[in-house]
Amino acid sequence: MDAVTLSELRKPRPYPAVSVLLPVHRRGPSGHPDPDRLRDLLAEARRRLEDDPRVPPATVDDVMGGLRQAADRIDLGHAREGVALYAAPDGERHAFTLDQPPVEERVVVDHTFATRDLVAAHTRTTRYWLLVLADRTRLWDCRPGGLTEVVGGPFPMARRPDAGRDFHRAVTAALGRVNGRDPRPVIVAGTTRDQAFFEEAAHGSIILAGRVDGDHHDAGAAELAELVHPVLAAYEDLREVAVLTELEAARSLRRYASGLADVARLAEEGRGAHLVVERGYYAPAVRSAEGALIPVDRPHGDAVEDAVDRVIETVLEYGGEVTLVSDGFLVDHARIALVVRY
């Protein structure tokens, strides 16, 4: 899942866009997941579509066919923590496995797909680049499942004996092309000299998550993972503290809002710079006569089934940043807060 794919999934669809989200609960001595839960959710999706007067029978069959085809793409035995299935009219369908479980299993029927769990996987799951500077400079794609060397593009890059600092500028440009499609923090491994030349060439163009000192030109994935683990842990600790610090600073500067109604209004005005929301916070809402989202106790009629998902999508569409945090983390911020641009 990269940022471009996620952006495409967030776009509005013809009604009904159906999302099926399932944590993979494993049972028995073999540890196999329970396929009955997926069948139950698909049956629930059909019932909801058939009960909706806005959805003609042909569209019900079309969308359910897409969901079944999406489900057929998933091998539950190899799904790590969860499954996300999406289908919309005219045969659109998608299937994803998740590295962390959805907060709850659910079926969502709306004009957009419920992408919060994909956003959480994209923003909260530790995904980063590891750049190993050496005569043969390598780039590693680092995810919770392990490290995979990036090959087939500009990397690995060989350094000529007379390259000098031009080599580090070329590495920076190549990393920029990769990082432009899928922005992530970068950990840099290498000698002190190589690191200094690279950081001079990068000149703030990357988010530097940390450094691993020494020549590790021939280290494998397992060894590199051990080396970066403490560096990454320190970066994550600092980032979590920084979120609260940023919110308090924004509040003192009057560039802050909390509570779903105020945050939604500012997000829809395009003013959201950084949205911070508890991952388990769900809230239905209705539109007022003026078009504002007003939270309600339960969805009904033309209510937005999950207004929090809608706010997340809106902030991202306007180029803002979204950070999902653990439940209870924003106890002083009404579970959702926004740093505004102006």
Q: Which residue has the higher pLDDT, 88 or 28?
A: 88
Sheet containing 256-258: give its strands across: 256-258, 336-340, 272-278, 321-325
pLDDT digits (tens, 9 = 90+) for 171-210: 999 999 999 888 889 999 999 999 999 999 999 899 999 9
Q: What is the pLDDT of residue 299?
A: 65
Q: How many beta carbons lie within 10 A of that of residue 159, not counting itself?
A: 18
For 310-329, write each residue's pLDDT tens digit.
Answer: 898 889 888 898 888 878 88
Q: Which CATH architecture has domain 3-123?
A: 2-Layer Sandwich (3.30)
Contact indicator for 3, 310 with CB cutoff of 8 Å: no
Name the β-bridge partners of 210: 187
pLDDT at 27: 56
Instruction: Provide the phi-psi class of 110: left if phi over 0, else alpha when psi is between -120 and 50, else beta.
Output: beta
pLDDT tens figures, 233-279: 888 778 778 899 999 999 999 999 999 999 999 999 999 999 999 88
pTM of the model: 0.58
**Per-residue confidence (pLDDT) for residue 288, from 0 to 100:** 81
Helix (H) or strand (E) holding 46: helix 35-50
pLDDT tens, residue by residue, 79-113: 667 889 999 999 999 999 887 666 578 899 999 99
Which pLDDT value is given to residue 77?
73
**Where do the domains of the chain lie?**
3-123, 128-238, 254-340
CB atoms within 10 A of CB 105: 19
Residue 128 carries which DSSP code?
Answer: E
d(CA 14, CA 9): 13
User: Please, what is the angle between helix 307-317 and helix 260-268, to 10°?
Assistant: 30
Kind of pairing between the strands at 321-325 and 272-278: parallel
Q: Does the pLDDT at position 298 exceed 80?
A: no
pLDDT of the residue at 132: 98
| CA 147 – CA 189 distance, rounded (Å) | 14
DSSP annotation string for 265-333: HHHHTT-EEEEEEETT----EEE-TTS-EEE-SS--TT-BS-HHHHHHHHHHHTT-EEEEE-TTTTGGG
CATH-assigned architecture of domain 254-340? 2-Layer Sandwich (3.30)
Give the chain's radius of gyration (CA, Å).
22
Q: What percent of the chain has pLDDT over 90?
A: 56
DSSP state of 134: S
pLDDT reported for residue 28: 46
Q: Which CATH class is domain 128-238?
A: alpha beta
Place of tokens 């919770």: 144
Average pLDDT of the chain? Answer: 88
pLDDT at 237: 77
- ∠ CA 208-209-213, nearest 5°, is 90
The predicted pLDDT at position 316 comes to 85
